[in-house]
Amino acid sequence: MVDLKQCMDRLGYRFQNEGLLRRALTHSSMAVEQHRMGEDNERLEYLGDAVLEHLVSRHLFDAHPEMREGALTRLRSSLVCESALSAAARRLGLNEHILLSRGEEQCGGRDKDSILSDAFEAVLAAVYLDGGLDQAQRLVDEYVLSAETLENRSSSKDSKTAFQELVHADHKGRAIRYELVSESGPDHKKLFTMRVLVDEVEWGTGSGPSKQAAGQAAAQMAMERYRIECD
């Protein structure tokens, strides 16, 4: 059983129709296990995705009058991506309230980014349907657009993740690959050089004392070039 009261306390919103919140927290695996097909959060997740995109787009449009369409799109993508929304879901404690099947629970579904991000969007839709756009805006402002959230997001994001989000904001199907170019120096003082390719076209190179560090440097260079050439 899910504790809807505790969940509403964390949301800071009291539902008139608590059934909306329950459905928003019901993963498809639970609906299948209980033979209640269609009584999951997938339709709400669809609506929540649209509500979130609208609210974030309007915020960025107003907050950055100098920013061009391409940059706005990439910034929005970084704010509403799976990792950002799953982090918001964890801060809300949704991972404790999601209704999962026994199998999904055993497979660690309660901590899967995909399940958590979908749940956040579904809960946002439920709040929107029950309380209107102003209540949905409040939730987005607090968990997606707050200064603290944006600062934490920026400081915790590595260059590889940031570059991936930048590229996939324009085209989700693009293939990003990192390749070792060279390795030199004695074992105790190695220097690695990596390059990053998007659809097999090189966008940046970088060097470092490990492949991981070199890859991060390559991603940083690629990000700077991508912003200039694709803005």
Domain residues of the chain, as ranges? Answer: 4-156, 159-230
Q: What is the DSSP letter of 90?
A: H
- Look at domain 4-156 and name its CATH class: mainly alpha
State residue 11's pLDDT score. Answer: 93
State residue 129's pLDDT score. Answer: 98
3-state secondary structure of 201: strand
Q: Which CATH architecture has domain 159-230?
A: 2-Layer Sandwich (3.30)
State residue 147's pLDDT score. Answer: 65
Residues in the chain: 231
* Rounded-to-integer distance, Cα 108 and Cα 95, Å: 11
State residue 228's pLDDT score. Answer: 75
**Under 8 Å between Cβ of 129 and 45:** no
State residue 149's pLDDT score. Answer: 62
For residue 121, indicate whether it is catalytic.
Answer: yes
State residue 82's pLDDT score. Answer: 86
What's the pTM? 0.68
* Rounded-to-integer distance, Cα 194 and Cα 67, Å: 32
* Weakly modelled stretches of the chain, pLDDT under 50: 155-156
159-230 has the same fold as 4-156:
no
* Rounded-to-integer distance, Cα 217 and Cα 23, Å: 44
Q: Among residues 49, 104, 118, 165, which one is catalytic?
A: 49
State residue 148's pLDDT score. Answer: 61
Backbone angles phi, psi at 116, to 5 degrees: -70, -40
Q: Among residues 40, 118, 121, 165, which one is catalytic?
A: 121
For residue 49, indicate whether it is catalytic.
Answer: yes
* Rounded-to-integer distance, Cα 225 and Cα 181, Å: 19
